[in-house]
Structures are given as C-alpha cells and as structure tokens.
Amino acid sequence: MTRRTPEADIQRAIVHTLRIVLPRDAIIHHSANEVGSGGKAARQRQAILTGMGVFPGFADLVVLTGGQVLFLEVKSPSGRLSPAQRAFRDMVKAQGFGWALVRSVEDALGALADHGITTRAQALNPRRRACA
C-alpha cells in the first residue's frame, strides 16, 4: 500500500521551483518539526525536539533572500491550519515578517511577488519591471 502525501508532493514541487527562480544565494529551508502520529515513542521524541527548540506551528518553509524573510505554510487543497499554525502566523506577521499559506507552486510564486521578492526571471526581464 502506498501512502499518499499530497502536502509533501506539493512542497517538493515548490522547493524545486524556488531553487530555479530565486537568486542563487537564496536560502530555502524546511524545518522538520513534525515527528508523526503515534504512541509513546513519538510523544517522547516530540518532547525532546521541543526542548531543543522546535517551535509548535512553525512554517514548513522559510525563504531568506535579499534581506527578506518569508515563511510559507504548505497545505493540500483541503488542508487547514492548526491552532498552533495560526498562532505562529500571527506572531510572525506581528513582528513584520512575511507569511503565506500556499497550496501550489503558483501560490508560492504569488506569495513571492506579494512580498516584493524578485525572482531571477523578473530581474532578467526589463519589460516586466517597466509594466509593474
């Protein structure tokens, strides 16, 4: 039986695309803050990770480029934010950082544009800049 991982598939596609369109020195980071569901062992591992600094609700991806920080929370088309994810979003935005919920590569590219992050394609296309 193959386990479906729509969010992971979407996230892989987003990371692949961002590595192509963002400047070469951009940092795209996934914070592995999930242990998975399970019993006692999973709860113990989560407690260890929390003690080491894992923050509940932390976004799936962090993009650092050109002095800007953008947090991306990746969800499937029907996925919803958890209470911890909503709290993280609110804290990040209150501190002036960018945050976006994305469900596709197109959403991620739109989030970059919405937060003023220039991609390599935009930087190389002077007509597009003149029209903006």
- At 70-121, the pLDDT tens digits run 999 999 999 999 999 999 999 999 999 999 999 999 999 999 999 999 888 7
The residue whose two tokens read 């903006």 is 132
Which alpha helices (H) appear in the chain, and where do they start and end?
6-21, 40-51, 83-94, 105-114, 120-124, 126-131
- Distance CA(119)–CA(126), nearest Å, equals 12
Two structure tokens written together for 130: 């003149």
Q: Are 14 and 72 in contact (CB under 8 A)?
A: yes
Instruction: Categorize the per-residue pLDDT at 129 as very low, low, confident or very high, splitting at 50, 70 and 90.
Output: very low
How much is the pLDDT for 54? 83
CATH label, 6-124, candidates 3.40.1350.10, 3.10.270.10, 3.60.15.10, 3.40.50.170: 3.40.1350.10
To the nearest whole number, what is the mean pLDDT of the chain? 87
For the entire predicted model, the pTM comes to 0.84
Q: Which residues contact 36 (CB under 8 A, 6 or more apart)?
A: 42
Residue 36 CA: distances (Å) to CA of 12, 42, 55, 78, 88:
18, 7, 15, 19, 19
